[in-house]
Structure 1
Amino acid sequence: MFLKNILLNDFRNYDKILWEPCNGINFITGSNAQGKTNLLEAVFFSGLGYSFRKKDRDVIRWGKTHSSVRATYFLKDMPVDIVADINEEGKKKILINGAEDGRKFLPGRFGIVLFRPDDLETIKGPPARRREFIDNEIGMIEPVYRRRLQQYRRVVEQRNNLLRVGGGKDLQSLKIWNEQFYRYGAEVLSGRIKLLKKYSPLVREMYASIAGNHENLEIKYLSTVKISGGTDTEQIINDFIFEGKTREKEEFYKKQTVIGPHRDDIVFLINKQDARHYGSQGQIRSIVLALKTAQLQLFRLETGEQPILLLDDVLMELDDRRQHYLLQLIAGKYQSFITSTTLDDSIKRYVDRVYFVNKGTVKEES
């Protein structure tokens, strides 16, 4: 997969520009607050139908009522034309080859991997960051998993309302929601474990190539439900029911759902030591780099397409060794977009095209 061209209208600080990046490494440079990240955001928006920032409607240029992005991707040598419009109410209209298809058909499902400086918080931040990483970034390759996750979240919300308002006294209503809670919770938990079984070996391999074989990385899933073994959904449902009954009084007291995938965590162990507490800054960066490069590999293996990589002001956060490891990995393999205020000669030899961004304009440098 690669992006052939992208046309922006009133997107962030861009009035109207047509940009045709190359199919290799595109390096985007310029001073701060000129529009480098906005350009990456536009690529992300066209491929996935939403922004990687807080509110989608914030992409609309100041003083305007709507914004649009038009892009052409190539998938298996076939063009895919995307039109994504959004108005000031946040209502979006997305056309794929002229048809108003759902977001599930957008080209980003084949993999758009975003790497930003705050991704370091995936390791040391709260559990929600790690759940979000698995659900939103890795879970993208499994549409069924994503649907079950949405259903599960709705059920948890309804269940929490009953516990909060009624204190669990409406047992008949709670019983109805419990049936869905156990089913969808088990399917989400089973799906996560299956995803990690595919993903974890790739991460370990990437980490070993970065840090060396003397450091062994292990990814461990911490479930609030004690699983008796395997990923069989029916067995996990039974485990859910048992755990739910065991902690029923605690839920009535706390007035919230205390077990389930929405409360689970993932830890990263280096030589059996928890990286959150004992990992050095260099080790943390190596883990995140391994996570992102393994994402590229996973998408390629699962979809048969080469994903697109977006590096937003993160390359200079890595030391020379990690920079060259990443650039050697992606050169000639993945269409990549890298933003930075500077371009060192040691990096320039990997770059296919350089673009200078200034006040919402993009100019290719020779």
Structure 2
Amino acid sequence: MILKSISLNSFRNYNDLQWEPHTGINFITGLNAHGKTNLLEAIFFSVLGYSFRKKSSEVINWHSNNASITATYQLSNINIDISILIEQGGNKKILINGSEEKRKYLPGRLGIVLFRPDDLQIIKGPPSGKRDFIDYNIGVIEPLYWQNLTQYRRVVEQRNHLLRNGSGHNDSFQIWNESFYRYGAEVLAGRIKLLKKYIPLVQKMYTDITGGHEELEMKYLSTLKITGKTSIEQIILEFIAEGKTRQKEELYKRQTVFGPHRDDISFLINKKDARYYASQGQIRSIALALKTAQIQLFYNENGEYPVLLLDDVLMELDDFRQHYLLLLINNHVQSFVTTTAMPDKISQFTNRVYLINNGILREVI
């Protein structure tokens, strides 16, 4: 998959940008606060229909009422044209090859992998960060999973509302319970299916990075007592059983205390919990394995490599890990790498170098 061209109008500090990047590794340099991350944000937005920052409306230039992104991607021998108009208030109009589509139809069609310094905190961070990583990084590969997750979150929100209001015994709550069990089972089964494909890739990447000297385990910690069977109907029965067990606790705490939105993931290096025992180097190796496995998973599922965005993260890696990553993506993955400086040691992997100055992009190499 290749980004052939992208045009931005009133997108953050880009008043009017027309760009045709190289199909290989594009280094984007410049001082901080001049628009490097903004450019990666626009590419990300064009693929998934939302920003990796906060509200979509915040991408609009202060001097405009709306912002627009137009991008053309090559997928095999087919060109996909995407046009997105972002209006004040966050409303968006998305056209794919001229047809209006909702945001939910974008995930799964195109692939993008974003690697930022914040990703180094996933391993030692709270469970919510690990869940978000699976949902927003791996889950978007499967559109049905994304749709079920959206429905599940809506159901949990309504269920919590009823619990807070002391309505955990009425008929309305029981109706929402049925949806909670159904969508919860769909999400949990979807996660298990995705992780069965993903975890072995992460372990292989980690083995390669460490030269086989360390063993990584990645375990999904469910709030349900999952048996060996992972069919939807079986998981629904386990949801119902857990609901009966946790009913008094939920009525007391006035919130939903179990389900995929409360699950966790653990990382073990040589049988020891990485949260407490991993060094900074090991943490970086796990994060790198997670991202490189994400690239490989998308390729396995689609027969195409995703676009890779490295936002000020390359310099966070030591020389060995830099070389490992760049060697892996070289000649395979179209990549966009932001950095404030261009070290000579990585110049051999450079296809193009661009300089950004106050939202103005120009090619320097």
With the shorter chain as reference, the TM-score category is over 0.9
* One-letter amino acid matched to 2:128: A
Indicate whether 1:99 and 2:107 are aligned: no
Separation (CA, whole Å) in 2 of partners of 1:97 and 1:194? 31
The structural deviation recorded for 1:126 is 0.9
Give the match for residue 287 of structure 1. 286
Superposed displacement of residue 105, structure 1: 4.3
Task: Give the SS at the match of 1:228.
Answer: coil
The alignment partner of 1:166 has SS state of coil
Per-residue deviation, residues 222-245 of structure 1 (Å, max 9, x unmatched)? 111111222111111111111110
> Does 2:256 align with 1:251?
no
Q: Which residue of 1 aligns with 2:46?
A: 46
Matches within 5 A, 1:21-60: 21-60=21-60
Give me the whole-angstrom Cα distance separating, in 2, the residues matched to 1:39 and 1:190: 36
- The alpha-carbon deviation at position 96 of structure 1 amounts to 1.2
Alignment of 1:335-354 (within 5 A): 335-354=334-353
User: In structure 2, the residue corresponding to 1:110 is in which secondary structure?
Assistant: coil
In 2, distance between residues paired with 1:293 and 1:88? Answer: 36
> Could you say if the C-alpha distance between residues 177 and 104 of structure 1 is closer, same or farther in structure 2, counting changes exceeding 3 Å?
closer
Summarize deviations over 1:301-360 as a string: whole Å, max 9, x none: 101111100000000000000000000000000000000001111111101000011111
Whichever residue aligns with residue 351 of structure 1, its letter is T
Change (3 A) 1:107 1:169: closer
Structure 1 residue 108: Cα displacement: 6.7
- Pick which of 329-338 and 59-68 moved more: 59-68
Q: CA deviation at 1:181?
A: 1.1
Correspondence for 2:15: 15
Which residues of structure 2 form unaligned runs of 5+?
A: none
Q: Which residue of 2 aligns with 1:326?
A: 325
The residue aligned with 2:136 is 136
Equivalent runs, 1:53-68 vs 2, <5 Å = 53-68=53-68
CA contact (8 A) 1:86 1:93 kept: yes
User: Does the 8 Å contact 2:107/2:140 carry over to 1?
Assistant: no
- 1:45 and 1:174 mapped to 2: Cα distance? 37
Residue 122 (structure 2) aligns with: 122
8 A contact 2:3–2:74 mirrored in 1: yes
Provide the secondary structure at the position in 1 that maps to 2:353. Answer: strand
Compute the TM-score of the two structures, normalised by the length of structure 2.
0.98
Indicate the SS of the match to 1:22: coil
> What displacement does 1:107 show?
7.6
Root-mean-square deviation (CA, aligned residues, Å) is 1.2
Dislocated runs of 4+, deviation >6 Å: none
Contact kept? 1:109, 1:140, Cα under 8 Å: no
CA distance in 2, matches of 1:21, 1:344: 21
**Do the aligned partners of 1:73 and 1:107 also contact (CA within 8 Å) in 2?**
no
CA distance in 2, matches of 1:164, 1:105: 34
Paired residues of 2:167 and 2:173 also in contact (CA < 8 A): no
Identify which range, 320-329 or 57-66, moves more after superposition. Answer: 57-66
C-alpha displacement of 1:80: 1.3
The alignment partner of 1:125 has SS state of: coil
Q: Supply the AA of the counterpart residue of 1:204.
A: Q
The C-alpha deviation readout for 1:8-63, integer Å capped at 9, x for no partner, is: 11111111111110100000001111111111111111111111110111111122
- Identity of matched residues, %: 66
Asked whether the equivalents of residues 110 and 307 of structure 1 are also in contact (C-alpha less than 8 Å), the reply is yes
Q: How many pairs were matched up?
A: 365
Which residue of 2 is the match for residue 267 of structure 1?
Answer: 266
Q: Kindly state the Cα deviation for residue 106 of structure 1 after the two structures are TM-superposed.
A: 3.5
8 Å contact from structure 1 (residues 48, 109) kept in 2: no
Whichever residue aligns with residue 21 of structure 2, its letter is P
> Structure 2 CA distance, aligned partners of 1:109 and 1:283?
33
Please list every run of 5 or more consecutive structure 1 residues that lacks an aligned counterpart in the other structure: none
Report what 2:69 is aligned to: 69
- In the alignment, the residues of structure 2 paired with residue 291 and residue 222 of structure 1 have an alpha-carbon distance, to the nearest angstrom, of 18
Conserved in 2, the CA contact under 8 Å of 1:167 and 1:253?
no
Once residues 187 and 197 of structure 2 are traced to their aligned partners in structure 1, the CA distance between those partners, rounded to angstroms, is 16
Correspondence list, 1:296-311, <5 A: 296-311=295-310
Displacement of 1:175 in angstroms is 1.6
2:363 corresponds in structure 1 to 364
